[in-house]
Structures are given as structure tokens and as C-alpha cells.
Structure 1
Amino acid sequence: MKGLLLRLSALDADAESAVRVIAYFDALVAARADAASLVRATAALAECGAGLATPDTGRVRYSEDGMPRSADGSTEPKHVSGWMSLGGGGRVWLERPGPPRPLDELVLERMAIAAQAINTRARPSLHIADPALVELVLSDRESAEDRARALRLLGLLPDVTVRAMAISLPAGMDVGVQAVALMARGRLGRRTVRVAVLGRMAAVLLQDRTAAASPSGDLRVALAERLSGRTSTTADDQPAETSAGGQQVSAGFDWSTGPWDGAAQPRVGIGGPVDGLDARHSWRQACLALRFAAPGSADSLVVDYSELGSVALLADVPVDRLRSNPDVRALDGLAQAPSGAADIAVLEAYCQANSLRQAAAVLHLHHSSVAARVAHLEDVLGWRLDEPEGRFRARLALLARRLATAL
């Protein structure tokens, strides 16, 4: 980008200078600059600090000498001389210590346009896929040649890492629509995403060339925002894509509507990364992880197979044995009480937290209320929940009950 060397101090506030600024940012977009390159180039042009913040990129800041501002430990700008908002909750800004220069407003405007172009490129390639092709990719019976052909027809590459996900909703809810909405809001960056409805579940295939980390964190954030009512979707937030069959579909589903309490929440299982031709192995892991997912918090709704570790061995226990276990039956009896759902939620939170206060924070209750409920649970179940062994027993029983009721 040697041809982009330009400084505002060398420009006058005239039409010719404005055209040069516009051309500067057009060249950045044409060169497919990423967020960091855009901010660094803007800081060099403006001869002051510059920044960009979006849900996809996070906060990116550079000083005029090309150094990241976060390197000195300062994540928040001390002085913002001008800023401009972006669609989807983002913004760009300049950190000029003195008075603004005549072209600063134009710089911010063109930086915002470039940032929106970058953000559009970074959105996931989200397609509603042909279920028959996805079933073929996930099949144990089909040949490698047939699976490779199906992957290519889906727009995926057989020799690039793929990760499968399984999403479930109660009967009567459109799991396909909800899966598309979740993927669109999940900040999945440049991953290629394919969604297909297989029976009562949605199968999702994720692929990119960098073998990116698990999407579990991003999906939990998206679900946490939805559960707390903070998410708002607009037409600018989500793309409309074309399916494998050429049908236009919208990922801009307004998922602020519809039942989302208790069992109506989507459950997500995530498989591990595998070669494209081995997607069926990741799918099996995703389906197993889905059995461990439970309504409640975003953490319990999204389960990554790689995070289960030895706990995954519980899935090998026959369901009849799980259901007949005395501890599982005790939890079933507890759940039938008028306050059963709340009691199970408190027990889940307390077993996962390190203290009553942490459990109370998760449940949005006063810690004294949680303490009273825990004492009640000890009386009903006969378990000492203030001791590690008692909490382990309760946690194991909760997991066993989850597996017993997931099928």
C-alpha cells in the first residue's frame, strides 16, 4: 500500500484534497484491507490516533506512528475529537488532541464507509442447504467420492477443516428459522455456514481455512444477549443469502419474538474440528454434546464436545439405568414440586459456581435467597451441598438426569 501515503497536514480544505481523501479510502477497500489495516491507515492519514469498534472486530486502535494503542495497556481512548456511528452498534473515531482539522469530518465519513464494507465481507456466508446433501456428507454408508461431491455442491471444500453443530428446539417450533437466526447473530466472522433441517434438529456445518477456535464462546454471548433482551436485529445486521438450490432466503429473522422461556430455548451441541470428508465424526460428537445441553443459562444451552472431557463417558450409560438411578429419581421428584423448576435451576447454578454469591449473581437473586433455597434442597435431597462430595454427587446426578431426558 505504498501508494496510500498521504497526510492531512499536506492537504488544503478544497475539493481536490477531498477527492484525494476519498480515493485514499477507496484504495483501501479495493485492496481488501482488514479492520486493523483500515485503522492504521486512517491514523497515518489523520496524523492522530484512530479507532474502530464493532461486535465482529472488537475494539481496534492505532496511533499515528502505526503502533496499536492497546500495546500500552490503554484500551479506552482518553480523548475522542470526532466519531461516527456504524450500523449494528459499531463506530469509528479520531483521537486528535488539538482542534479538529477541516477534513476530519470527511475522513470519519470515508472511514465509516470503508468499515461497513469490511464488516459486510466478514459476515458468515450463511446458506440454507439441501438436507439431502447434508445427510450424504454426514453419512457413514456413502463413499468418500460421494461425500466429496456433496461437500462441493454445498460450497464446502473436502480438504478444509469443518465443524458440525446440532441445534434442537421443542416440537412445534421452527428449528430451521431459529438456527439461521442464531448463526447470523453468532459473530462467526469469515466462516462459511450451511444450515439444514434433519428431522427435529438443525444440522450446521462451519468451515474456514484457519481452523478457527470453537464458536461456543460467540454463540453463548449471542444467546446471553437474547435471554437478557439486549439483542435487537435490523436489516443491516444480517445478510440475505442464496441457498444451494438458488432460492433466496433471509437471515434477518426477527428473533426478538416467540417463546424463549424454559424448555423453549434452543439447545446447541458442537463437535470438534475434522477434515471435510470426516464431517460425520464431528456430527456424532455434536449430537452427543447436545444431550448434555439444558435450558437455563447460555452456558448450559451451548455444549462443546471438546469441553466435556471424561464427562462424555456418561453418555455410554444406558438410558434405562440413568432413569432408574436413585439420585436421578430424587431430582425427578424435586422437579415435580410447584417450585421444582426454580429448585433445579438453583441447584445447577450452585454446583457450577464457587460460592453462594456467584450463584446468586448468575440467577439474579440475593445471596440470602439462594442460601435459603440451598438449605431447603439439602433437607429434601439429603445431600450436604456445602461439602465438595455433596456438590459432586448433585452435579453428577444433574448430568445423568439431563442425559436420561434428552432423548
Structure 2
Amino acid sequence: MQDLLGRLTALDPDASETLKVVSYFDTLIARAVGVESMLRGAAVLSGATVGQRDPRQIIRVRADGVRIDPIDPGGRWMLRESGPDVVVWIEREGDPHTNDGMILERLTLALGILRARRAGDPGSAVELAISEFASDGERAAALARLRLPVGPVAVVASPPDPSPPAQHPSVVVATRHGLTRATIVAAGAPVDQVWTDAGGLRVGIGTSGSGEHLPDSWKEALIAARLTTDSEPVVAAGDLGALLLVATAAESRDVHPDAAALARLDPRSRDLLDAVVDELSVRAAAVRLGRHHSSVQDRLTALIDVLGYDPRTSRGHARYVLARMLFTLSD
């Protein structure tokens, strides 16, 4: 498939884009993602809001992956029937784009396959349990189907593969940041007990609570997963303390100027600032970086002018740590 895409890109860009649409939905079908994830994938591909209306509800997802208020499509946009009393659409102002028809065609096919697979499937119950848009009744029914262990539970965000053992209910979800597996575990369950062969698996763990807390735990797990590194492959949201409040608030806002300032720096400069902040000493940072003390000091002086604050002071240190986290989340 990838070789064919490469050849088609050179011969016919429009044809290659169509094949990418087919390949993308094939991946979502293979991962058995839910309805909202299917719509999110179509929205990302089309660069426009995508919606579905069925007898129960209307779901609309913006191009940036955010779910928005339901409105009936009427006859304003290109529609496709996706099943009995079910339609999907792309909210495109003006003429449809080249691949809008193909995206809707593959979306309707994928949703039909999903409905056939999902009758009583645990994955659909997990997706309802962690969705902030599910009604109280839908979430209660999903939790009853899952038969979760007694006591607090949490959500773990991880790459789609590997999947956990069957006793840990999970589903692959299409998020704004790519396909991510959501797994519900008992509070405090060590990751190496959920995945016996984790092998450096990078995961984020949400805070624990009752079943009604699962949507918040999922959002926290996604934030924690994006803060993982090779040296810290497991991040628990509960360990972030007040930083979690800042990270959650930042999700719905533009990039903060302090984070934007770090984004404009080259990686070598950010490494130098990280070393100074971690080591609390220019000399120790120079040793860690394998550079001469005077060169690190000179570069730090220049970077302080760029940042507008000194990360070695107590307030500057806190400001840099927050800026670094926000930069990572916005990257």
C-alpha cells in the first residue's frame, strides 16, 4: 500500500489522496474504533466539521477533533445515508472538495461495519464510559456491561498496540493526537501487571474515582501520556499536582507566549535550559552537556534575554517548568 501511494503521488496527486482516504478508514476499521472516533477521523481528513444523525442523537465533530453542539443538517450539506434512519455529512461551505464524496462513502461503509460488529461488544461500552458526551443513562448501562471491579477505577492511555489482557476492558479511540488505546483498570494497578510485556511502553494514567469519573480520568490520561519521555515512559496524572490544573486549562486555549518562546528556540538551546533547570547549577549543567562552563554561561545569558526571565530564580524556575510542560503539550 505504501509503495503504491508513493508511485501514485508522482503520477496523480488526486488519486494518491483518494487512496490515502481508503487506507485511513481501513486502519480505523481494523482498530474497531467507535462512532465518535470514526467521525473525528473523517473531520481531520476533510478539514471540515463532520456529523451523524441517528434516531437517538446528533454528533458533530470539528476539523480539530473537538465535539461541538448538535444541529440538524437539513439540506445544507452533502449527505449520505449510513443505515436505517442514519445520515452523515460534511459541513463544507461552497463547492465540495475533491475527496469529500470519497470520505463520506468510506465513512458510511466503516460505520456500517462498526454497527455489525459492535452489538454487545465491550469496546463500545468502554467508549461510552469514558465519553464526556454520553448521558447518565448511557454511561450507567455501559458500566453495568463492563462489570468493573469493586472500588475506584482509572483510565490508562497507551499506543494502540499492544492490547492488554481481556480482563482489562479497552478500546482504540481516534483522538486529536492520533489513535490511542483507552484501558480501564483498578486504581493503583501497576502498568507492568496490566501489560506483562510492556517493553518501554509509554502510557499516561488518569486519576482514579467512581465510574462517573472515567471521562475526567481519560482526559487526564491523555495529558499524562503526552508528557511521557524515553526516560520517564509512565506518567501518572495524580503525580502532576497543580500542574494538572494548568495543563487541563491550557487544552482549550491558544499557546501561551512562554511556550511559544520555547518553540522558537532550537533543540540545542532547549537542552541547555533543561540542564540548567534540572541541575540547578551552570557548572553542573556544563558537565552534563559536555561543554565548557563559560560557553554555557554565555549562551544562558543570551537565552535569558530571549525568554525575558531567569530560570535560575525561584519564580523563573517555576515559570520555565510550566512553559516547558505547555510547550510539550502543544508540540
Please report the TM-score for the alignment, with normalisation by the length of structure 1.
Answer: 0.40
Larger Rg: 1
